Structure 1
Amino acid sequence: MSQHRTALVTGASSGIGLTYADRLARRGFDLVLVARRTDRLEQLAAELTRDHGIKVTTLTADLSTETGCRSVEQVIADDASVDFLVNNAGMGKLGALSDTKVDDLATLINVNVLALARLSLAAMQAFTKRGSGTVVNMCSISAFRAVAGGAAYSGSKAFVLNFTRSLNLETRGTNVRFQCVLPGPVKTEFFAAAGVDDSLFPAGSFITSEQLVDAALRGLDLGEEVTIPTLEDASSFQTLAEAFTQLREDAGREGIIATRYRT
């Protein structure tokens, strides 16, 4: 899968991002690791270099800020070896929206939506010029349901799903690929960072970051555009997608107000 190519992974200092870094290193990729915690990045870089003999570059960046996004965009644009992007950085901030500080809401949207969209755009433009490339956008099964106590989070993930699927339509017939990965609960630091206890879900609902990333990479190898690692019947998502497409057609085919709204 790799011939001295470079993968850029955001949110790489722990959990899912760290596991992606490890698995891509095993596949022979050089790495650019992006996160806010410099000490963890440097420790991980040293370990991956030692264990896999690859080149690892670290970039400390806060993707909730303009400066942080620009620094990563610049690497994607300037480093011609980068042809694999994992948009893994994300935030939870679970709880009633009425109790949420506006700055926290803005930070979540900046990271989960704006930064992911900006880096996807930067990669799309760079990879198109280079002739090929892959973008993995980390999503969540929360994208499928409105959630009390998770309005901003589930809304941001619904954006990621539609956004990524749309980009696949735009790049169809080229060698630029987008994959949307939708995990359920994963044993990481996510819940603690989001301000809730992981007892929110039954213990049997959790998978490990290793299980998630191995399944996601297998899905990528299989050519999947949408990968839901814990969904046994993949056709059920296709059925849902087709139903939404039909709903859109039914709602938009004729410009006639529905009977129930007419007096």
Structure 2
Amino acid sequence: MTMPSTVLITGASTGIGAAYAERFAKRGHDLVLVARDKARLDSLAARLHAATGRAVDVIQADLTQANDLATVEKRLREDARITTLINNAGIAQSGGFTTQSVESIERMIMLNTVALTRLSAAIAPRLAEVGEGAIVNIGSVVGFAPEFGMSVYGATKAFVLFLSQGLSLELSPKGVYVQAVLPAGTRTELWERAGIDTATLPDLMDVDALVDAALVGFDRREPVTIPPLHVASRWDDLDAARQGLMGDLRQAQVAARYQTASHPA
């Protein structure tokens, strides 16, 4: 009898992570749920086990802390049953760049990029060796919208998109699927924790709708899934323009517009 594969989900105690947990449990997968809030994790695990019969383990961890991150990395490296990683844990920060503390910036970068990268690095070699599995990274449309005024948060999400695209090119020939999911505003606790009033954010997407859409993209094996994008060709056009730009680069030559020096008056 084939053992069910296991999905490890970070930021799983609520919001997008909890919705992913419910969906994958209903699909017949066992779960490893990771978050800081042990009480919420235990409650969700008990509910999902009772509803689906799936095995649900919990790991209480703050992924900005070295020891906690190492614990989750070890589980990903050593537990061969884990075939899918959902990198969902993340934080935002209110206020402009000049008003944010160094500590809050460092914590956001650590969780949104460093932890995500290290967890991906922990599982990717094993998945590539067996030739199957998936890594799902939750990014944001803010990652290509500096106009939104969330400079550091947006930069971390731009990193998530780039990393996901690079890993997809590298790992998909080895049988490993990598998906970047790019939500727009979604009704989660992220905003409250960042000190942002959701009443000032119109038309937030429901978490369940977001995750269901993301899973449609997952089943289709889309490299990039943007649930709120209604005109799919916009993304195709953007990607084509990017590739065209790369084709126009001439590495050994300075562009003509930079060959004539200009002097300030």
TM-score (norm 1): 0.95
| Structure 1 residue 108 displacement after superposition | 0.1
Distance in structure 1 (CA, Å) of the matches to 2:3 and 2:218: 17
Distance in structure 1 (CA, Å) of the matches to 2:256 and 2:9: 47
Greater Rg over alpha carbons, structure? 2
Q: Structure 1 residues 218-227 or 24-33, which shifts more?
A: 218-227
Q: Does 1:36 align with 2:3?
A: no
Identify the residue that residue 21 of structure 2 maps to in structure 1.
21
Identify the residue that residue 119 of structure 1 maps to in structure 2.
119
| Structure 1 residue 86 displacement after superposition | 0.3
| Native 8 Å contact 1:65 1:110 kept in 2 | no
Query: Over residues 2-30 of structure 1, what are the superposed CA-to-partner deviations in whole Å (9 max), with x where a residue is unaligned?
Result: 96110000000010000000000000010
Query: Over residues 116-172 of structure 1, what are the superposed CA-to-partner deviations in whole Å (9 max), with x where a residue is unaligned?
Result: 111111121121123211011001110111146411000000010011001010013
| Native 8 Å contact 1:147 1:154 kept in 2 | no
| Structure 1 residue 64 displacement after superposition | 0.9
| Native 8 Å contact 1:186 1:207 kept in 2 | yes
Identify the residue that residue 139 of structure 2 maps to in structure 1.
139
Q: How many residues align?
A: 260
| Structure 1 residue 199 displacement after superposition | 2.8
Identify the residue that residue 100 of structure 1 maps to in structure 2.
100
| Native 8 Å contact 2:49 2:56 kept in 1 | yes
Distance in structure 2 (CA, Å) of the matches to 1:172 and 1:135: 11
Distance in structure 2 (CA, Å) of the matches to 1:51 and 1:43: 12
Q: 1:252 to 1:50 in 2, by over 3 A?
A: farther
| Structure 1 residue 174 displacement after superposition | 2.3
Identify the residue that residue 209 of structure 1 maps to in structure 2.
207
Superposition map of 1:44-55 within 5 A: 44-55=44-55
Identify the residue that residue 194 of structure 1 maps to in structure 2.
194
Q: 1:53 to 1:237 in 2, by over 3 A?
A: same
Identify the residue that residue 232 of structure 2 maps to in structure 1.
234
RMSD (CA atoms): 1.5
| Structure 1 residue 242 displacement after superposition | 1.6
| Native 8 Å contact 1:26 1:52 kept in 2 | yes
| Native 8 Å contact 2:182 2:225 kept in 1 | yes
SS of the residue corresponding to residue 237 of structure 1 reads helix
Amino acid in the other structure paired with 2:227: P
Superposition map of 1:69-108 within 5 A: 69-108=69-108
4+ residue segments displaced more than 3 Å: 251-254
SS of the residue corresponding to residue 86 of structure 1 reads strand
Identify the residue that residue 163 of structure 1 maps to in structure 2.
163
SS of the residue corresponding to residue 32 of structure 2 reads strand
Distance in structure 2 (CA, Å) of the matches to 1:255 and 1:146: 30
SS of the residue corresponding to residue 229 of structure 2 reads coil
Q: Does 1:222 align with 2:205?
A: no
Amino acid in the other structure paired with 2:157: K
| Structure 1 residue 252 displacement after superposition | 4.1
SS of the residue corresponding to residue 174 of structure 2 reads coil
| Native 8 Å contact 1:12 1:33 kept in 2 | yes
Q: Does 1:173 align with 2:173?
A: yes
Gaps of 5+ in 2: none
Amino acid in the other structure paired with 2:233: S
Distance in structure 1 (CA, Å) of the matches to 2:120 and 2:170: 13
Distance in structure 2 (CA, Å) of the matches to 1:25 and 1:113: 27
| Structure 1 residue 241 displacement after superposition | 1.2
| Structure 1 residue 247 displacement after superposition | 1.7
Distance in structure 2 (CA, Å) of the matches to 1:252 and 1:94: 40
Query: Over residues 67-118 of structure 1, what are the superposed CA-to-partner deviations in whole Å (9 max), with x where a residue is unaligned?
Result: 1221111011111100011000000012111111101000000000101111
Identify the residue that residue 63 of structure 1 maps to in structure 2.
63
Amino acid in the other structure paired with 1:216: A
Distance in structure 1 (CA, Å) of the matches to 2:172 and 2:156: 24
TM-score (norm 2): 0.94
